[in-house]
Amino acid sequence: MPIKPHPKLMQCPNCGWQTIYAPRSDALIEHRPETCPKCGNKELDIKQAGIANLAISLIASLLKRN
Ligand SMILES: [Zn+2]
């Protein structure tokens, strides 16, 4: 039985940039952002993303449109 991939919430403590990183279960090598695309910070916080994080991230991206 394959293990479900756990989406991760990646946050930049410098500028507040964040993204949800969801590794594919069939990928042998995980490719995830290692630096912040905004400020180049390499010390990204990585947390397990729960359904609440996913919802918040979606809402935040909608609110940032203007
Ligand atoms: Zn940053």
37 CA → ligand 1 middle, Å: 7
The tally of CA atoms less than 13 A away on the side-chain side of residue 45 is 12
Q: Is the pLDDT of residue 13 over 90?
A: yes
20 CA → ligand 1 middle, Å: 15
List, in order, residues 6 or more apart from 57 with CB less than 8 Å away.
Answer: 9, 18, 19, 20, 49
**Banded pLDDT at 2 (limits 50, 70, 90):** low
pLDDT at residue number 7:
82
Per DSSP, the three-state class of 11 is: strand
pLDDT digit string, tens, across residues 19-63 = 887 766 655 556 677 899 999 999 999 888 888 877 887 888 888
2 CA → ligand 1 middle, Å: 34
25 CA → ligand 1 middle, Å: 28
10 CA → ligand 1 middle, Å: 11
pLDDT at residue number 17:
92
Q: Which residues pair with 19 in a beta bridge?
A: 10
Give residue limits of the domains in the chain: 1-20+35-66
